[in-house]
């Protein structure tokens, strides 16, 4: 067993997202199609014998104690009752708070990576359950496959989606997820549909229930969405602020990403069905 692992933490898109209810604890019941995409942060986890969890690359504006990857490592350490520690280094590409699930994916990579490095032998189900304590989007990254999700996003069913090219734009705005979910104008009562119905409807029928509220609160998002929709069908991912458009061809996606890049951070990325994290871990 090597004393160090370098692993990807990929982004996700919500190809569609319906809000079908609200729980007593304030969390919202969703129906969503998660798709992993070929755009990732990279984490290096190195074994420490002294039991400490050390973050060697602090993230701007995030206190070490609040950092989701540090919290993930400590949670696993407590859960497994291990005295092993780790140094965590991150090469950050994904925007924070953009609806791409970057922080959740980082946490999932730490849980799955340390499970291997510390030789704990926990199952994916156990890791996903732990991950849910850190955030509603963590389990899908442990699951590691495109999925239909219900509950708050943790009840996952594996699906196989088409794998188009996406252009992703991050309008220069930080969207607050709790604020979007608390907005009185948010649609909270979409009629639940079956997974078969969602898949059968296909991309032309997919929508994101957060989009109207986010566009209203953040005019920069509305402006970027109008711009992107001139080229291809476009939508918000999660609670935003990132937007994505779907393209058949890599060439078209790269051309539009380059144009978008003159105004905003923008990427062209391929849709996947299997996460590169699972490939890297060999599971």
Catalytic residue, candidates 12, 41, 116, 215: 12
Check residue 152 for interaction with ligand C5P (CB under 6 A).
yes
Pairing of β 85-91 and β 53-55: parallel
Catalytic residue, candidates 38, 137, 209, 215: 137
Residues 12-51 within binding reach of ligand C5P (CB under 6 A): 26-28, 30
**Nearest to ligand C5P of 21, 58 (CB atom):** 21
Q: Is 51 annotated as contributing to ligand binding? A: no
CA distance 32 to 44: 30
Tokens of 66: 């609040």
Does residue 116 sit in helix, strand or coil?
helix
Task: Give start and end residues of each alpha helix (H) in 152-217.
Answer: 177-182, 195-201, 211-217
Q: Is 40 annotated as contributing to ligand binding? A: no
Q: Which of 90-98, 166-174, 175-183, 273-281 is the region at the interface with ligand C5P (rule: CB under 6 A)?
A: 175-183
Q: Which of 177-185, 206-214, 253-261, 268-276 is the region at the interface with ligand C5P (rule: CB under 6 A)?
A: 177-185
Active site residue 12: yes
Tokens of 214: 């986010």
- C-alpha Rg value of the chain to the nearest Å: 18
**Nearest to ligand C5P of 117, 130 (CB atom):** 130
Q: Is 104 annotated as contributing to ligand binding? A: yes
CA distance 85 to 52: 5
Active site residue 216: no
* Short-list 149, 140, 133, 135, CA closest to 177: 135
Q: Is 105 annotated as contributing to ligand binding? A: yes
Q: Is 178 annotated as contributing to ligand binding? A: no
Tokens of 210: 């957060």
* Feature table: binding site for ATP: 95-105
Q: Which residues bind ligand C5P (CB under 6 A)?
A: 26-28, 30, 135-137, 152-153, 177-178, 181
Catalytic residue ranges: 12, 137
């Amino acid at each position: 067993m090597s004393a160090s692992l370098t692993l990807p933490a990929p982004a996700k898109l919500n190809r569609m997202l319906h809000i079908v209810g609200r729980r007593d604890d304030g969390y919202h019941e969703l129906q969503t199609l998660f798709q992993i995409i070929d755009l990732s942060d990279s984490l290096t986890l190195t074994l420490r014998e002294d039991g400490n969890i050390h973050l060697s690359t602090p993230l701007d504006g995030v206190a070490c104690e609040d950092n989701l990857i540090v919290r993930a490592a400590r949670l696993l350490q407590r859960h497994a009752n291990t005295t092993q520690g780790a140094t965590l280094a991150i090469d950050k590409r994904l925007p924070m708070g953009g609806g791409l699930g970057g922080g959740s994916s980082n946490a999932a990579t730490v849980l799955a990576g340390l499970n291997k490095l510390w030789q704990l032998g926990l199952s994916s189900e156990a890791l996903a359950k732990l991950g849910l304590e850190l955030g509603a989007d963590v389990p899908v990254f442990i699951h590691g496959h495109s999925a239909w999700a219900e509950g708050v996003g943790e009840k996952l069913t594996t699906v196989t989606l088409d794998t188009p090219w996406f252009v992703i734009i991050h309008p220069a705005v930080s969207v607050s997820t709790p604020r979007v979910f608390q907005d009185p104008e948010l649609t909270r009562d979409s009629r639940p549909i079956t997974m078969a119905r969602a898949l059968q409807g296909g991309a032309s029928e997919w929508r994101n229930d957060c989009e109207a509220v986010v566009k209203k609160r953040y005019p920069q998002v509305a402006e970027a969405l109008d711009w992107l929709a001139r080229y291809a069908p476009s939508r918000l991912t999660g609670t935003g602020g990132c937007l994505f458009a779907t393209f058949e061809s890599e060439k078209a996606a790269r051309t539009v990403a380059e144009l978008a890049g003159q105004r905003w951070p923008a990427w062209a990325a391929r849709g996947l069905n299997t996460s590169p994290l699972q490939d890297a871990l060999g599971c």
